[in-house]
Structure 1
Amino acid sequence: MKTVWVSLIVVALTAVLLLSNRFLSVIPLQLHPAPTINALFKYQLFVGLLVLALLIVSLATHPSSRQFLALGNLGIPAAAEKWLGINGRASWAVNALQLLLVISLATGIFMFLGVQQAGRLSTFQWSFVPVILILALCNSFSEEIIFRFFLIGQLYGAAPKLTILILSAVLFGLPHYFGQPSGVVGALMAGLLGYILAKATYETQGLGIAWSIHFVQDVLIYTALFMLNPDL
């Protein structure tokens, strides 16, 4: 039963976030002179407030979830999963670096091809970098709190490990059908990433690896989105 209501809370939050631009666009809040960037900042502010509320509720109702608000034990071996290239002998620190390189390469190639196809490779500006870093930091943290901290923190010990990992993958992957990368490919890529990040969080008892890998992917994605946007 707990698995159901925790999943429903995540689904409800996701639905609110997907629909948020419908009402955020009419709120006259100026955080940046560029309209596109201002909209992104307003969205992150809104998500941040929701995540703060979720953190408070989660810690109040399930205090033991606090253990996941940590870097995690990176020295322990990652449980073997051959399909991910994890042999069960190397530490999470080693596996995290390997996964970061492979995942970032896949994301980078995918986004590069999109920018190249649009003929926008020459549009990169160094002035984008501070904004991209802020957005990537905020977005990756918020999504890790929703899809890893809350989900795993609430269900740890109450549901089988595999169930939790699959839930995190599905609930994280499906909304990205409407994100970037989008469509079926985007949803599958995000779902796989969600599984890996949930596994790292569950086994290390912390968000360090998940947040770091997620942050790098968001940097790559936001960079491509800024280059693709003709208004920037």
Structure 2
Amino acid sequence: MGMNNKRWSMAPVLWITLIVCVLAPALLWIRRNQLLALEVFEREVYNQELSYQVTVLFLAVILIGMVYGLTGKAGLAYLNLKKRDGTIRPEPWIGITPKETETWKHLGFNLAVIITLVTAVVIYFQVIHGKSLSLDLFPGILLVLVFALINAFSEEIIFRFSFVAVVSHTGCSPYLAQGLAASVFGILHYFGTPSGLPGVLMAAFLGWILAKSMIETKGFYWALCIHFLQDAVIFFALFMKP
């Protein structure tokens, strides 16, 4: 009986892992094969991104409904944007050794600055270096911010919230949620921006640390904020034109 109960408790984790593993390559396919053909802006790159973001946002909302079905209201509590503080679990292997007075209010801000700067350096050498580029002030700058926010929200729902909410609900180790969030997000970014092995390593670390932020603050704030800053840097580079 005990073994059967354990298998039953792991069923939601297996289901959400399967769903996210199907969604991950689906996002790559959607990126290349636009399901929508929205024509709102003069530049085609803006229209393509709008079509993609609307589609993925729709999928993220559906996934929230699936998580609710697996966890109830307890899972949705991780979407709270007001919870920005919490005790930091030390992880010396990645340099997280907080002082007694240090909490997520301090770590979240520090990570936002450091990760954004590292992302900017990598994107510069992968996308911008050696090119003479410019960005439309309007609607370019506005779209950078809008798309960065939508993309950050959708990806945090799909690759972080899903695992954190379901794994926490089943009572499994938080490292399981962090490991799943890191591995799926990392592998996906082999084909993303930043790409290749640097993209995999950066995305895996980001997946791990943002899942950690959700678990330890019981909220969505730092994951969304830090991811938004990274995406703003990336979209700023991608929307530049020769």
Scaled by the length of structure 2, what TM-score is found? Answer: 0.87
> In the alignment, what sits opposite 1:83?
93
The 10-residue stretch of structure 1 (131-140 or 64-73) with the greater mean CA deviation from structure 2: 64-73
> In the alignment, what sits opposite 1:41?
50
Matching residue within 17, 27, 34 for 1:24: 34
> In the alignment, what sits opposite 1:217?
230
1:67 and 1:126, CA in 2 relative to 1: closer, same or farther beyond 3 A? same
The 10-residue stretch of structure 1 (159-168 or 129-138) with the greater mean CA deviation from structure 2: 159-168
Matching residue within 124, 140, 159 for 2:135: 124
Q: Is the 8 A contact 2:152 2:224 kept in 1?
A: yes
> In the alignment, what sits opposite 1:57?
66
User: Which segments of structure 1 move beyond 6 Å, counting only runs of 4 or more?
Assistant: none
The residue type equivalent to 1:86 in the other structure is I
Task: Point out where structure 1 has 5 or more consecutive residues left out of the alignment.
Answer: none
Q: Aligned pair count?
A: 227
Scaled by the length of structure 1, what TM-score is found? Answer: 0.91
Give the Cα–Cα distance (whole angstroms) in 2 for the partners of residues 140 and 116 of structure 1.
22
Give how far 1:116 is off.
Answer: 4.5
Task: Name the SS for the 1:24 alignment partner.
Answer: coil
> In the alignment, what sits opposite 1:162?
175
> In the alignment, what sits opposite 1:202?
215
The Cα RMSD (Å) is 1.7
Task: Name the SS for the 2:231 alignment partner.
Answer: helix
> In the alignment, what sits opposite 1:185?
198
The 10-residue stretch of structure 1 (52-61 or 11-20) with the greater mean CA deviation from structure 2: 52-61
1:30 and 1:165, CA in 2 relative to 1: closer, same or farther beyond 3 A? same
Task: Name the SS for the 2:39 alignment partner.
Answer: coil
Task: Name the SS for the 1:178 alignment partner.
Answer: coil
Q: Provide, for residues 171-219 of structure 1, a one-character-per-residue CA deviation record: whole Å limited to 9, x for no partner.
A: 1111111110001110111000110000001111111000000000000
Task: Point out where structure 2 has 5 or more consecutive residues left out of the alignment.
Answer: 1-9
Q: Is the 8 A contact 1:31 1:42 kept in 2?
A: no
Give the Cα–Cα distance (whole angstroms) in 2 for the partners of residues 195 and 140 of structure 1.
15
